[in-house]
Amino acid sequence: MTGIQLDVSDRTENQAGDSLADGDRLTRDSGVGELAVRRFGVALSGRLNAKSATGAAVAFARLIAPPSFSLGDISAEDAYSLHVNCISHGLLRIAPGRANEQKHHIPLSGIAIYDLADLQMMEMDTRFDMIRFHFPRHSLQDAAREMGHKQSVRITRPPIGTIDPIISGIASTVAACFQYPDRAPQLFLDQLGIAVQTHLLHNYNETAIASPRKRGGLLPWQEKRAKELIAAELSKVSMAKVAEECGLSSSYFVRAFRETMGMPPHHWLSELRIAMAKDMLDRTSEPLNAVALACGFSDQSHLGREFVRRIGMPPGQWRRRHQRAR
């Protein structure tokens, strides 16, 4: 039978997890490591990474392949993966050809969660088109501790094909980030990683993890430092770095920033970029491409799109109007 095939022998959590030497972790990491390339090959059409203060967070991948595609290296690893189906219908076979063979019809936006330390043979008869989230186990454990959960994280797997509207929405946003990467700053990707990780822990962990209690906003010095760091690195700012400088975890920093500023960090960054661009357009005669790069946009077209979306007109037209008004 043709189709997408995954084949790993049964491994215990310890075999795939804590027993791995540090040097093996990146090798046996299908999120950000080289294992992703060996496993998915040409199906790996794009990768994006969310960052955390611990150095391991959520990796996003767009996987697209024809029905006859077969996967490569599928070594066990200490992680979970979450797949969201992006086509109208998928047919998944688990343990094909065996007495315990299972068939799963996966609808559009249907999800599947896998413990990558213990997978079975799988085949997907239909075209493969999915958004994939990769969660290192120790990253989930760190996030759970931030939420006040001290027990080991064990993700329970819902029936394959389950529809989760929250995950579906996040997956749609991730798909848009792959399509329009210049509109997805690192700060925004970091927040997406926090969102999907928190949702997974809150809804699918073996022992329920309550949402963290609201504890107020940023202290004045934290607000000042956060704004300085974001303004200093308009195009490359990392949520983990800003949070660490403020002495906070990434997830708590996002909540505190929103409480203080009335908007999440990536919205504030977008507003700052537009404000800086308007100031340069008004004060200088710099060409639009120079304005774009100086204000943290990837290029002139990125500036133009954001300007039209927020101001209602292209930057060149806005500049001419303001110059005539002076």
Cα-Cα-Cα-Cα dihedral sign, residues 196, 197, 200, 202: negative
pLDDT in tens, 189-225: 998 998 999 899 988 998 867 665 556 788 888 888 8
Please indicate, yes or no, whether residues 303 and 226 belong to a single structural domain of this protein: no
Within a 10 A sphere around the Cβ of 101, how many other Cβ atoms?
A: 12
Is residue 291 in some structural domain? yes
Model pTM?
A: 0.68
Please indicate, yes or no, whether residues 233 and 281 belong to a single structural domain of this protein: no
Local structure of 217: helix, strand or coil? coil
Please indicate, yes or no, whether residues 178 and 147 belong to a single structural domain of this protein: yes
Q: How many domains does the chain fold into?
A: 3
Please indicate, yes or no, whether residues 138 and 15 belong to a single structural domain of this protein: yes
Residue type, position 307, single letter: F
- On the question of pLDDT at 8 being above 50, the answer is no
Burial class (CB in 10 A: 0-12, 13-18, 19+), 326: exposed
Domain around 306: 267-325
* Predicted local distance difference test score (pLDDT) of residue 145: 83
Name the token pair of 167.
Answer: 């995950």
Local structure of 294: helix, strand or coil? helix
Which helix (H) or strand (E) segment is 282 a member of? helix 265-283
Is residue 213 in some structural domain? no
Is residue 214 in some structural domain? no
* Predicted local distance difference test score (pLDDT) of residue 97: 65
* Predicted local distance difference test score (pLDDT) of residue 110: 92
Within a 10 A sphere around the Cβ of 318, how many other Cβ atoms?
A: 18
Please indicate, yes or no, whether residues 171 and 288 belong to a single structural domain of this protein: no
Please indicate, yes or no, whether residues 312 and 291 belong to a single structural domain of this protein: yes
Please indicate, yes or no, whether residues 245 and 316 belong to a single structural domain of this protein: no
Please indicate, yes or no, whether residues 87 and 38 belong to a single structural domain of this protein: yes
Which helix (H) or strand (E) segment is 113 a member of? strand 110-115
CATH number for 296:
1.10.10.60
Cα-Cα-Cα-Cα dihedral sign, residues 96, 102, 103, 104: negative
* Predicted local distance difference test score (pLDDT) of residue 184: 86
Is residue 75 in some structural domain? yes
Please indicate, yes or no, whether residues 245 and 320 belong to a single structural domain of this protein: no
* Predicted local distance difference test score (pLDDT) of residue 211: 60
Is residue 260 in some structural domain? no
Beta-bridge partner residues of 162: 111
CATH number for 122:
2.60.120.10
* Predicted local distance difference test score (pLDDT) of residue 1: 35
